[in-house]
Amino acid sequence: MHAHWGKGDRMTDAKRTVVIALAVSVVLGFYGCGTKNETDRPLRFWQFWDTGVIEPIVREFETRNPGVTVEVEQLTWKSGLEKIQAAIASGTQPDLCELGSTWVPRFSYEGVLEDLTSIYTEVADSFIMWDSARWNGRVYGLPWVQGSRALFYNEDLFRRAGLDPDRPPKTWDELLVAAREIDGLSDDISGFGLNLGERYVLYKKFMAFARGNGGGIIDSNGQVVFDSPQNLEALEFYQTLARYSLKEKQEVLDHYFKSGRLGIQISGAWNLRNYALEAPDLNYRVALVPKPSATDGEHASFAGSEMLVIFKKSKRKGDALKLARFLHEYAQAKELCLAVRSVFPASKEALNDPEFSSDERVSVFVEQSMTSQTAPAHPGWIEIEDIINRAIEEVLYGRVEPREALGTAAVAIREVVERFE
């Protein structure tokens, strides 16, 4: 993703007047003191939620800020990124935009986002999921909502396998035992669900175990550590777990789980809503992702975060910042989350809110998010993710041994990282 800026021709007097006017509007500053035409046009907000959910929240903002009108546009996950890239290239970007956490680093690297470090300094300790918004020591986005991944397990299959559903697997060994016992119940039942053949999914599941073991992809010094001993241990464990697993795409795994033929899987909170609608009689629980042992590691997982960003070329930066901070506040983030029932506020207030703690399944996701991480904040992440997915798949298909797969992947990741240095 690169924005292409065309070279202008020799300026006429008329063009020079326009340039001077634009320069004056920039000098008038971040907080929205533009020309009459600029402030008269609606504030443009691009986001990915159903407009029926987000509109009431935005209208409340307008009520609290007389004279500010917000034009909301709903993007799709299929084409949203391309639309944003095209808008940046043509200079028609919105004033405020929602970006997925894996997209923010590239936009930060391109230099098209407004620096929000001063806001971060004010509220950093009250929110999680900041990592993907950081680039070169500065912060370019506000974590809005987030969604972690946790362990789903079938209570009935646990009982049939002689396992106690009140004692979910807390360690890797306990997970292996549970998966093996459930997998042995019958030919049409699988112990664990492993993702294969699907982009944007596999690394999230594997890295939950790798991070729980102290592993990573790129460390805080920018060094590639994907071939670390910690990651090797995690991948060898994952390879063993595959013996008792159904290896399929997420949609298939979800189908098998809700039909009672899959004992355990790692998935997101959207399935709490889906299973209530599609399999209301399914007896299942949610637990933290197991850690390496009772004394080592942590219950880590992957989380995606939705970030609010302001583009440098916005003519309404002041009002855009007001709207961003309004949406970022806990009350508004909570309203959105309760409406969609698939994500949670990035604010730490969610930990002690009865709306998220009274239901045991829901509260696990909030707790899990406290030890979850987003993808590394690197502008080459899309390429890096593909490298990781290929490496893990090669191991799960039995084509390459874990050590070789990690080593080959680490070399390829270093090549990507070096291109951005």
Contacts of 289 (CB under 8 A, 6+ apart): 149, 150, 151, 208, 209, 212, 266, 299, 300, 301, 368
Say if residue 295 is in the same domain as residue 321: no
**Which SS3 state, helix, strand or coil, does residue 374 take?**
coil
Query: Residue 204 and residue 250: Cα distance in Å, rounded?
Result: 12
Using a 10 angstrom Cβ sphere, with 0-12 exposed, 13-18 middle and 19 or more buried, the burial of residue 279 is middle
In this structure, is residue 49 part of a structural domain?
yes
In this structure, is residue 169 part of a structural domain?
yes
Say if residue 279 is in the same domain as residue 197: yes
Say if residue 140 is in the same domain as residue 168: no
**Percent of the chain scoring above 90 in pLDDT:** 88
**Domain tally for the chain?**
2
Say if residue 124 is in the same domain as residue 108: yes
Q: Would you state the pLDDT for residue 421?
A: 84
Question: Which domain, by its residues, includes 34?
Answer: 13-147+304-365
CATH code, domain carrying 360:
3.40.190.10
CA geometry: angle 118, 124, 130, nearest 5 deg: 100
Say if residue 161 is in the same domain as residue 46: no
Helices marked H in 72-135: 80-90, 104-110, 117-123
Q: What is the mean pLDDT of the segment spanning 286-312? A: 97
pLDDT band for position 40 (cuts 50, 70, 90): confident
Question: Residue 151 pLDDT > 90, yes or no?
Answer: yes
pLDDT in tens, 174-204: 999 999 999 999 999 999 999 998 888 899 9
Contact 340, 53 (CB under 8 A): yes
In this structure, is residue 322 part of a structural domain?
yes
Query: Residue 325 and residue 346: Cα distance in Å, rounded?
Result: 13
Say if residue 219 is in the same domain as residue 98: no
Q: Would you state the pLDDT for residue 329?
A: 97
Question: Residue 17 pLDDT > 70, yes or no?
Answer: no
Say if residue 232 is in the same domain as residue 274: yes
Q: Among candidates 297, 133, 124, 144, which has minimal Cα distance to 216?
A: 297
pLDDT in tens, 312-324: 999 999 999 999 9
Say if residue 292 is in the same domain as residue 331: no
pTM: 0.87
Contact 351, 376 (CB under 8 A): no
Amino acid at 58: V
Query: Residue 265 and residue 208: Cα distance in Å, rounded?
Result: 12
Q: Among candidates 342, 361, 370, 372, which has minimal Cα distance to 208?
A: 372
Q: Would you state the pLDDT for residue 7?
A: 33
Output the 3-class SS for 22-55: HHHHHHCCCCCCCCHHHHHCCEEEEECCCHHHHH
H or E element that contains 145:
strand 142-154
In this structure, is residue 6 part of a structural domain?
no
In this structure, is residue 294 part of a structural domain?
yes
Q: Would you state the pLDDT for residue 24?
A: 34
Say if residue 250 is in the same domain as residue 380: yes
Say if residue 103 is in the same domain as residue 169: no
Q: Give the DSSP letter of residue 300.
A: -
Hey, how many other C-beta atoms are within 10 angstroms of the C-beta on 221?
6
pLDDT band for position 109 (cuts 50, 70, 90): very high
Q: Among 341, 365, 389, identify where a domain stops.
A: 365
Residue with tokens 């600029």: 38
pLDDT band for position 34 (cuts 50, 70, 90): very low
pLDDT in tens, 215-266: 999 998 999 999 999 999 999 999 999 999 999 999 999 999 999 999 999 9
In this structure, is residue 19 part of a structural domain?
yes
Contact 377, 182 (CB under 8 A): no
Q: Would you state the pLDDT for residue 4?
A: 34
Q: What are phi and psi of 8, to 5 degrees?
A: -80, 160
In this structure, is residue 380 part of a structural domain?
yes
Contact 136, 146 (CB under 8 A): no
In this structure, is residue 5 part of a structural domain?
no
Say if residue 26 is in the same domain as residue 79: yes
Residue with tokens 């956490």: 101
Say if residue 113 is in the same domain as residue 197: no
Question: Residue 362 pLDDT > 60, yes or no?
Answer: yes
Q: Would you state the pLDDT for residue 27?
A: 37
H or E element that contains 310:
strand 301-310
